[in-house]
């Protein structure tokens, strides 16, 4: 290359421009922080926590205001609130929450001072019907909340659940934009994103493969969950490492005042939860230490032999391996699913609201058919997270240090075992600085993971990877309310060490409060990730879920030999929305969205030789519109959702719809409390979905074994059938899916805090034969699960 004056000038100009951009990236956060600090120095700050007086549980999204002023805030999921920019003076601070008596405390604010208050609310003896405060609507006006749905334990319990055991795995498919591929080994697809493109967090820690093989149950214990934030797209800079969606699950502390627990049993599983104080929280406040232990174990493989024999016939599992009839096998083993989940948490909470949590877990799962397939995985880990509230600082500090190990193995009758392991450690810290009508959130993430993966394809061509990867990220997000507009710009910088690649990912969220009952919102951003799944999007069902890092060798654009720009997966999101309050108790949310997957990477499972590339690329799109309508009054909860969506991929040879492309998806959920003391609860959920795509069969041929021609009679031999598929991928559609689940619950109060809940539930109440897939050779139809009635008993104390 000849470096002439013109070339040198261009290089110098480019370098100067890059340097100016780098200066801007570092100067802008500093200026924002200095501005926030100057504002807080002129006035004072009132902050604190709001708790339930009986249990010490935080009050989520309660309202805290300074009387006779316009200053106030909502509590977060930890019960924390902060009211910045309070002029010096004496005030009355009032905390309110529906179903609780209001509490008023006196506060005195000095210039530059910080006042902290712990407030304890008593449950109201008489439920007031005229209370106008709606924490959810207050939150809707103050936050962007686009493509974000917050789910509570109460909402999960309200869903008619399989086996009478409520679980987040059954609730998530009710949300708009989320599709489940089936009852057995079902995976969740969120607005066009495959499971590996969705990050599932437990107290800030990534959980790999969080759903059990049966498909109805997750590894998470419902009664230990505090909140679930589901971000189906357009998430801001505090989240990264995935290109489609985030599911952020936070667990609660154990009871800080009293020992208690839950014991339950159903035909599907049994579980135990124990909690209580080690250092009891006093009525006057102060610090406390508490514990929470949960465990659940399934025994469906045993109970199904007696209760659900009809579910193990060949109409349900219609395939065979070798000369072994699967129906005969299932008579002996029942439904071949089993799992055990253990979780523990130790919480230290200071008198100023600072917290330290130590947690650990062990999740296992097994799917076993003798002589056919034996799959087993385990996920073990633990760590610590903390919240630090410095007494003389306007900054809230949160952090996490955790590690986990995931191992899965599959042995099949073909003798080709598959194994995958991923070990991860994570360290992150987040800082939040509060200022007038806004806040600045910034922090860093450090993640390291090593993968160990091996398998052989149908041609006995091997693939193996052992790799170690480090990802370092820093982010900053500003939240500012400007009149009736909430503005949330963000920037994330993510460095992938194994790829020697730095990604700059701008994010933006905006909400415009047009009127008291009408709000417009928008969000978008750039996203990237390095993690790849062994599950192929062509699979109808695949219980083997392994993980590996992105390729470190050359990667090519789809169906070409042209090198790709990098070796990461990329996407961009653009989402808009309208929130409409149709009266005091009814809300409508409408969100059109577009996700562009500019580079997707998967294992090349069609390798014909060891010289062929290990990975292949494609591009894709996901776009559509989601509607949700919610109506909630004292005894009745109604929720209806509808999604119109299109999901396709382009592998460079053809553009095709994915196997999880569901054009229409609708859900209706109803819960009604009735009877004396409202001890009865009836629930109903109905789901309707259009058929998934599949590739049509064009014909058959005899699959001759040419590797042993000496012993093979090509002319007269009788060989296994092979299939000739349509040249157009996924050119057919299965029939529509629809299912109704119902439940009836009765509570028996035994005195004090003791009670028993008896829940009668029926899954697939009208026994709809929903197609799962059709065996191409035998033409036998395989259906989803049939009608499954059950009775669950839960004792709480």
Contact 396, 354 (CB under 8 A): no
Contact 467, 454 (CB under 8 A): no
Confidence of residue 423 (pLDDT cuts 50, 70, 90): very high
* Residue 590 pLDDT > 90: yes
Confidence of residue 537 (pLDDT cuts 50, 70, 90): low
Average the pLDDT over each of 53-57, 296-300, 395-399, 651-655 and give the range with the smallest value.
Answer: 53-57
Rounded Cα gap, residues 352 and 389, in angstroms: 7
* Residue 725 pLDDT > 90: no
Rounded Cα gap, residues 7 and 450, in angstroms: 43
Residue for token pair 């592998």:
651
Q: DSSP class of residue 282?
A: B
Q: Which residues contact 65 (CB under 8 A, 6 or more apart)?
A: 71, 72, 73, 93, 94, 96
Distance of CA 377 to the CA centre of its chain: 20
Q: Per-residue b/e over 331-365, b at no fewer than 16 CB within 10 Å? A: eeebbbbbbbbbbbbbbbbeebbbbbbebbbbbbb
- pLDDT given for residue 539 in this prediction: 56
Rounded Cα gap, residues 156 and 177, in angstroms: 18
Rounded Cα gap, residues 323 and 617, in angstroms: 39
Higher-scoring residue by pLDDT: 540, 123:
123
- pLDDT given for residue 319 in this prediction: 42
Q: Which of 796, 795, 790 is nearest to 308 (CA)?
A: 790
- pLDDT given for residue 11 in this prediction: 37
Q: Across all residues in the chain, what is the average pLDDT?
A: 85
The encoded tokens of residue 49 equal 């926590």
Higher-scoring residue by pLDDT: 77, 126:
77
pLDDT single digits (tens) 31-69: 544 544 554 457 889 998 898 888 888 888 888 999 989
State the distance between the two ends of the chain, measured CA to CA, in whole angstroms.
Answer: 79
Contact 503, 528 (CB under 8 A): yes
Rounded Cα gap, residues 642 and 612, in angstroms: 44
Contact 133, 98 (CB under 8 A): yes
pLDDT single digits (tens) 253-262: 999 999 999 9
Average the pLDDT over each of 334-343, 383-392, 542-551 and give the range with the smallest value.
Answer: 542-551
pLDDT single digits (tens) 557-568: 998 889 999 999
Distance of CA 433 to the CA centre of its chain: 27
Q: Which residues contact 515 (CB under 8 A, 6 or more apart)?
A: none
pTM of the model: 0.87
Rounded Cα gap, residues 479 and 184, in angstroms: 42
Q: Which residues contact 664 (CB under 8 A, 6 or more apart)?
A: 642, 643, 644, 688, 689, 690
Rounded Cα gap, residues 121 and 93, in angstroms: 13
Contact 773, 318 (CB under 8 A): no
* Residue 420 pLDDT > 50: yes
Rounded Cα gap, residues 538 and 66, in angstroms: 57
pLDDT single digits (tens) 186-231: 678 999 999 999 999 999 999 999 999 888 899 999 999 999 999 9
Q: Which of 535, 660, 648 is nearest to 602 (CA)?
A: 535
Mean pLDDT over residues 233-260, rounded? 95
Confidence of residue 317 (pLDDT cuts 50, 70, 90): very low
- Report how far apart, in Å, the C-alpha atoms of 665 and of each of 189, 646, 660, 661, 765 are: 13, 11, 12, 10, 19
């Amino acid at each position: 290359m000849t470096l002439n004056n013109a070339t040198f000038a261009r290089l110098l100009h480019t370098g100067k421009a890059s340097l100016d951009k780098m200066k801007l990236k570092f100067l802008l956060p500093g200026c924002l922080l200095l501005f926030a600090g100057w504002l807080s120095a002129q006035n004072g700050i009132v902050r604190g926590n709001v708790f339930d007086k009986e249990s010490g549980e935080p009050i989520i999204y309660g309202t805290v205001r300074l009387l006779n002023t316009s200053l106030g805030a909502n509590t977060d999921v930890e019960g924390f609130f902060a009211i910045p920019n309070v002029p010096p003076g004496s005030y009355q601070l009032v905390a309110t929450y529906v179903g609780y008596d209001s509490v008023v405390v006196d506060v005195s604010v000095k210039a530059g001072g910080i006042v902290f208050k712990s407030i304890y609310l008593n449950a109201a003896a008489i439920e007031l019907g005229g209370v106008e405060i709606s924490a959810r609507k207050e939150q809707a006006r103050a936050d962007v909340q686009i493509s974000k749905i917050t789910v509570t334990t109460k909402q999960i319990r309200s869903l008619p659940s399989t086996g009478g055991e409520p679980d987040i795995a059954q609730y998530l498919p009710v949300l708009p934009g989320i599709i489940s591929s089936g009852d057995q080994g079902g995976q969740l697809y969120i607005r066009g994103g495959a499971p590996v493109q969705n990050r599932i967090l437990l107290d800030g820690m990534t959980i790999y493969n969080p759903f059990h093989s049966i498909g109805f149950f997750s590894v998470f214990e419902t009664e230990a969950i505090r909140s679930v934030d589901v971000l189906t797209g357009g998430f801001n800079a505090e989240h990264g490492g995935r290109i489609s969606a985030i599911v952020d699950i936070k667990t609660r502390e154990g009871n800080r005042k009293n020992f208690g627990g839950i014991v339950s049993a159903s035909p599907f599983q049994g579980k135990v939860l124990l909690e209580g104080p080690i250092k009891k929280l006093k009525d006057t406040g102060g610090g406390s230490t508490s514990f929470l232990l949960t465990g659940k174990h399934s025994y469906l493989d045993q109970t199904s032999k007696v209760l659900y024999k009809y579910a193990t016939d060949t109409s349900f599992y219609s395939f065979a391996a070798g000369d072994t009839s699967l129906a005969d096998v299932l008579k002996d083993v029942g439904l071949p699913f089993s799992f055990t989940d253990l979780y523990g948490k130790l919480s230290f909470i200071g008198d100023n609201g600072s917290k330290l949590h130590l947690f650990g877990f062990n999740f296992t799962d097994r799917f076993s058919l003798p002589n056919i397939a034996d799959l087993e995985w385990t996920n073990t880990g633990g760590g610590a997270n903390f919240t630090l509230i410095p007494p003389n600082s306007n900054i809230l500090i949160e952090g996490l240090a955790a590690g986990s190990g995931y191992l899965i193995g599959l042995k099949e009758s073909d003798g080709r075992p598959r194994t995958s392991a991923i070990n991860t450690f994570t360290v992150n810290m987040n800082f939040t600085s509060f200022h007038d009508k806004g806040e600045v959130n910034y922090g860093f993430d450090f993640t390291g993971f090593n993968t160990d993966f091996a398998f052989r394809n149908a041609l006995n061509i091997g693939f193996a990877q052992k790799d170690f990867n480090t990802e370092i990220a820093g982010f900053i997000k500003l939240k500012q309310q400007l009149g009736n507009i909430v503005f949330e710009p963000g920037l994330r910088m993510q460095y992938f060490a194994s790829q020697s690649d730095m990604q700059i990912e701008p994010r933006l969220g905006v909400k415009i409060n047009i009127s008291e009952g009408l709000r417009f919102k928008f969000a978008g951003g750039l996203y990237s990730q390095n993690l790849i799944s062994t599950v192929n999007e062509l699979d109808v069902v695949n219980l083997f879920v392994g993980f590996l890092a992105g390729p470190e060798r050359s990667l090519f654009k789809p169906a070409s030999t042209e090198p790709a720009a990098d070796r990461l997966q990329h996407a961009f999101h653009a989402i808009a929305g309208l929130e409409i309050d149709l009266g005091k108790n009814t809300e409508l949310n409408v969100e059109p969205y577009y996700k562009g997957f500019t580079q997707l990477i998967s294992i090349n499972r069609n390798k014909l030789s060891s010289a062929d590339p290990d990975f292949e690329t494609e591009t894709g799109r996901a776009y559509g519109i989601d509607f949700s309508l919610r109506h909630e009054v004292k005894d009745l909860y109604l929720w209806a959702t509808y999604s119109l969506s299109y999901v396709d991929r382009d592998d460079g040879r053809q553009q095709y719809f994915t196997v999880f492309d569901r054009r229409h998806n609708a859900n209706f959920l109803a819960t009604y409390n009735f009877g004396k003391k409202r001890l009865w609860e009836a629930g109903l959920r109905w789901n309707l979905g259009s058929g998934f795509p599949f590739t049509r069969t064009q014909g058959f041929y005899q699959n001759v074994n040419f590797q042993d021609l000496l012993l093979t009679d090509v002319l007269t031999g009788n060989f296994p059938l092979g299939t000739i598929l349509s040249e157009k991928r996924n050119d057919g559609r299965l029939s529509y899916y629809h299912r109704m689940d119902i439940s009836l619950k009765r509570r028996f109060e035994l005195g004090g805090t003791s009670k028993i809940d008896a829940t009668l539930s029926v899954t697939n109440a009208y026994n709809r034969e929903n197609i799962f897939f059709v065996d191409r050779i035998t033409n036998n139809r395989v259906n989803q699960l049939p009608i499954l009635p059950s009775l669950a008993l839960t004792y709480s104390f």
